[in-house]
Amino acid sequence: YFGTDGFRGEANVDLTAMHAFRIGLFIGWYYGANPKQNRPADYRARIVVGKDTTAGGQSYIQVDGKDTVYLAEGAFHSVYGTPIDSVRSKDVFTLSSSEIMTVTVNGPSGSYVLRKNLSSADLSSDNSVAQTPVWELAESSLGSDVKCDTEKVTNWVNTVNTVKASSWAADDEPVRMENFYGSFRIGTGTKEIGMEFYSIPEDSEGKFLCKSTVSPYPFYLTKYYVEKFCKNFDELKASE
User: Which letter does DSSP use for residue 235 in this model?
Assistant: G
Between β-strands 91-94 and 69-73, what pairing exists: parallel, antiparallel or unpaired? unpaired
**Cα–Cα distance measured from residue 131 to residue 151, given in angstroms and rounded to the nearest whole number:** 12
pTM exceeds 0.85: no
pLDDT computed for residue 125 by the predictor? 46
pLDDT > 50? residue 66: yes
In this structure, is the dihedral angle defined by the CA atoms of residues 21, 22, 25 and 27, taken in order, positive or negative? negative
For the segment 99-103, the average pLDDT, to the nearest whole number, is: 95
**Cα–Cα distance measured from residue 240 to residue 237, given in angstroms and rounded to the nearest whole number:** 9
pLDDT tens profile 165-224 = 999 998 888 889 999 999 999 999 899 999 999 999 888 888 999 999 999 999 999 999
pLDDT tens profile 21-30 = 888 788 777 7
**Cα–Cα distance measured from residue 231 to residue 149, given in angstroms and rounded to the nearest whole number:** 14
DSSP per-residue letters across 66-112? -S-EEEEES-HHHHHT--GGGTS--EEEE--GGG--EEEEEETTEEE
**Cα–Cα distance measured from residue 122 to residue 132, given in angstroms and rounded to the nearest whole number:** 8
